Amino acid sequence: MQHTALADQTLELHDPHSFVTKYIWSQDHKVIAIQYGLTAVFVGLVALVLSALMRLQLGFPDTFDFITPGAYLQFVTMHGMIMVIYLLTALLLGGFGNYLIPLMVGARDMVFPYMNMLSYWMYLLSVIILLASFFVPGGPTGAGWTLYPPQAILQGTPGYDWGIILMLVSLAVFIIAFTMGGLNYVTTVLQARTRGMTLMRMPLTIWGIFTATVLGLLAFPALLVSAIMMLLDKTIGTSFFMPALVSLGENLDYTGGSPVLFQHLFWFFGHPEVYIVALPAFGMVSDVLACHARKNIFGYRMMVWAIVAIGGLSFVVWAHHMYVSGMHPAFGFFFATTTLIIAVPTAIKVYNWVLTLWQGNIHLRVPMLFAIGFIFTFIHGGLTGLFLGNVTIDLPLSDTYFVVAHFHMVMGVSPIMVLFAAIYHWYPLITGRMLNDALGKAHFWLTFLGTYAIYLPMHYLGFLGVPRRYFAMGSTDFIPESALSLNASITVSALIVGASQLIFLFNVFWSLRHGEKAPHNPWGATSLEWQTPDVPPKHGNWGPELPTVYRWAYDFSVPGAERDFIAQNEPPDAAHPTSGELGGAS
């Protein structure tokens, strides 16, 4: 092949010379990853505080004067938007995508490091614009994270003026940032793999991140276009999404627009977004499970095709978020069917994770605890998805706490369990230190049991018909007193879980200095990122020569091998049987 020499050349690397080029205007994918990660965790903490405030109001109504109904809606909106976009998308793709892609495929850096750097700074700008909306007149938007017009830009919704404009601008900037990063991730995976690293030898982490990035590049355009159109509706008075309206007794100038069009555009982005968050998590948890069970991942090829199939299907299910918006029954049938078909590849993945654990040599270290915790939370969240995917069951449950419980389990708690697993797993590589085990275990049990204490009762609230996004229940006949006590108990659990994240933060910062020094490849992992000459890897990752890959990433406990793992770059040899053939190209 013609351009193979490119991967080996070091000319393109811009070696940093000063503190500023090394840590601030850095083009090294590892530094950019950490910048992305820290920024994402910071805004994530803001969103966590917002959720605590919401829970305080719900659990103990009439107790906190500063939480007004308007402020409550703003907390709901900003919590949702930050968690989905600015924390999960940014941390999984900008953070872990950046760190792991070049290391796992054996590249020196992303293919265009300068653009990668710009991606982070645009992301930071979008975060600043987002946070600025807390300080403008009227505060941030309170339209709900779906930002449905007409209410999002009409008087009566908090932040209908400045807040919504800043929100939309921030999203547009975020999309530009994501596109610059995403083009890099996709091109790096396709074109910059090292010798022997065929597509079907890549760790599942890379498959998950790669597919999610492709989804992002095709789904974010819908959000960008709808943001532009809503901005025009808000600022210069076009009527894309705005029908003729009477607001506060006044006839508005809008006429003839289509609010449902926005919902279609939003969910054409919004549904793939679920998988933009889920697929990298699927990938990373596969690698963590295989490594800590000392067993090859069950059904590698099936896992890859399941990731790709889920990615493809995620573009034809969006209207299942809109069953109550009014739709031709045939469309309801179509979207319910496609939605339930997604359960097939997803179930394949879950079975394969469980079968990977079956008869494995399981080491219950902290990353593994979180990975197994993920299987639990994901199965629970996934099963309730089957309820909501059916039109007839969705109609009564729509906009109740059942929906809140469902999506928090499946795309809130589950990816976050994997993120914790990933941080505990890769922290030794990133920092060269081990995290404290006892603190990690305490963090796991509080988080895992705590999330069940939060979300399990919410399913019952949903069955009772308790509506989501309400500031207070008031005196409604169908909601019994006991629902209020349930809400109080959920709030207490949420505060405990929120506080237990401080254990994690303490662990991360304390271990940076005082953690045990990490041995080389502490978990006995096979994939390339653990085989770098230096830990943490230096700029350029591989020293003078790129590694050569001889096998897939899952040669654990190979009978007859010296150790219970064979690294991907270990040459085949008479003493080592090569079971790597399974992952070969043929």
Partner 1 sequence: MDTGSHDDSYTAPGVRGMVADWAADKQAFDMPWGKLMMWIFLLSDTFIFSIFLTSYMNVRLSATDSWPNASEVFALEIFGHHLPLILIAIMTFVLITSSGTMAMAVNFAYRRDRRKTVWLMAATALLGASFVGMQAFEWTKLIEDGVRPWGNPWGAAQFGSAFFMITGFHGLHVSAGVIYLAIVARKVARGDYEQKGYAIVEIAGLYWHFVDLVWVFIFAFFYLW
Report the interface residues with partner 1, using CB under 8 A. 1-4, 6-7, 111-112, 179, 183-184, 186-187, 190-201, 217-218, 220-222, 224-225, 228-229, 232, 236-240, 244, 253, 255-258, 261, 265, 268, 548-551, 571-572, 580, 584-586
Instruction: Determine which helix (DSSP H) or strand (DSSP E) holds 246, and give its type and residue range.
Output: strand 246-247
> 234 vs 408, which CB is nearer to partner 1?
234
> 70 vs 584, which CB is nearer to partner 1?
584
CB of 111 to partner 1, least distance (A): 4
3-state helix/strand/coil string of 337-354: HHHHHHHHHHHHHHHHHH
Say how far residue 157 (Cα) sits from the centre of its chain. Answer: 29
> 183 vs 372, which CB is nearer to partner 1?
183
Q: Residue 299 carries which DSSP code?
A: T
Nearby residues of 266 by Cβ (< 8 Å), 6 or more positions away: 146, 147, 148, 222, 223, 226
Alpha carbons 371 and 360: distance in angstroms, whole number: 14
Pick left, alpha or beta for residue 459 (phi over 0 → left; psi -120 to 50 → alpha; otherwise beta): alpha
Cα–Cα nearest to 127, from 169, 99, 97, 157: 169
Q: Residue 146 carries which DSSP code?
A: T
Query: Tokens 């879980």 sit at which residue?
Result: 497
Alpha carbons 507 and 473: distance in angstroms, whole number: 39
> 465 vs 584, which CB is nearer to partner 1?
584
> 112 vs 162, which CB is nearer to partner 1?
112
> 36 vs 241, which CB is nearer to partner 1?
241
> 256 vs 559, which CB is nearer to partner 1?
256
CB of 167 to partner 1, least distance (A): 20
Are the C-beta atoms of 484 and 417 separated by less than 8 Å? no
Neighbouring CB atoms inside 10 A of 358's CB total 11
> 146 vs 238, which CB is nearer to partner 1?
238
**HSE-CB of 430 using CA atoms within 13 angstroms:** 24
CB of 185 to partner 1, least distance (A): 10
> 188 vs 346, which CB is nearer to partner 1?
188
CB of 231 to partner 1, least distance (A): 10
Neighbouring CB atoms inside 10 A of 95's CB total 26
What is the per-residue burial (b if ≥16 Cβ within 10 Å, else e) of 508-518? beebeeebeeb
CB of 419 to partner 1, least distance (A): 26
Amino acid residing at 524: G
Q: Hey, what are 63's tokens? A: 């107790």
CB of 202 to partner 1, least distance (A): 10
Q: Among the residues of 391-480, which ranges form H helices?
A: 391-397, 401-407, 414-431, 437-464
CB of 6 to partner 1, least distance (A): 7
> 150 vs 580, which CB is nearer to partner 1?
580
CB of 12 to partner 1, least distance (A): 10
CA-CA distances (angstroms) from residue 136 to 74, 85, 129, 173?
Answer: 13, 21, 11, 19
CB of 438 to partner 1, least distance (A): 42
CB of 1 to partner 1, least distance (A): 6
